[in-house]
Amino acid sequence: MDQTFVMVKPDGVARGLIGCIIMRLERKGLRLVAARLEKLPEKRVMEQYREHLDKPFFPSLRHFITSGPCFLMVWEGRDVVPVVRALVGLTDPAKAAPGTIRGDLAMDIGRNVVHASDTPESARREISIHFPESELCSYQQADEPFLYE
């Protein structure tokens, strides 16, 4: 099964949206294999967002991501990376479609509630930044025969 890294950002945690976001991913049929509530050290924020280090918004992004706890997760499922990106919606919540997490739950590109890996390669990289192998749980879901043909 494919894996992806998903993170409820400090705005989502402060607004009490962790449960709502987990519920949406669980209901889809995805499997949670790791989770941790944590205030991220700057070093791991720089690693996670390395492609954005030179962007004008990076200083405010770094400041915001380290301003409070994040809820870090690894989710598993078939084609989970594009599936979760579709559930999350476009980066700018004003443009994100209704029904998506950002479309339904956020207003501003700098407060868009959730991060999700954009490719399988970045998913592998981001998972390894935040989770040692030993924290990834392997288990069966009872509904698996009804999720996949």
Binding interface with Mg ion (CB under 5 A): 118
Q: Catalytic residue at 52?
A: no
Phi/psi for 56 (5° steps) reads -60, -30
Closer to ligand IDP by CB, 52 or 78: give it: 52
Closer to Mg ion by CB, 104 or 118: give it: 118
State the residue for tokens 């025969």: 145
Closer to ligand IDP by CB, 30 or 106: give it: 106
d(CA 135, CA 82): 23
Spell out the long-range contacts of 53-58 with Cβ–Cβ below 8 A and sequence spacing 24 or more. 57/110
d(CA 84, CA 25): 8
Other beta carbons within 10 angstroms of residue 84's beta carbon come to 25
Out of 38, 41, 57, 78, the residue judged to bind ligand IDP by CB under 6 A: 57
d(CA 91, CA 32): 23
Give the shortest CB-143-to-ligand IDP separation in angstroms: 29
Asked if 24 is part of the footprint of ligand IDP (rule: CB under 6 A), the reply reads: no
Out of 83, 112, 113, 126, the residue judged to bind ligand IDP by CB under 6 A: 112
**Which residues are near ligand IDP by CB under 6 A?**
52, 57, 61, 91, 109-110, 112, 115, 118
Q: Catalytic residue numbers?
A: 115
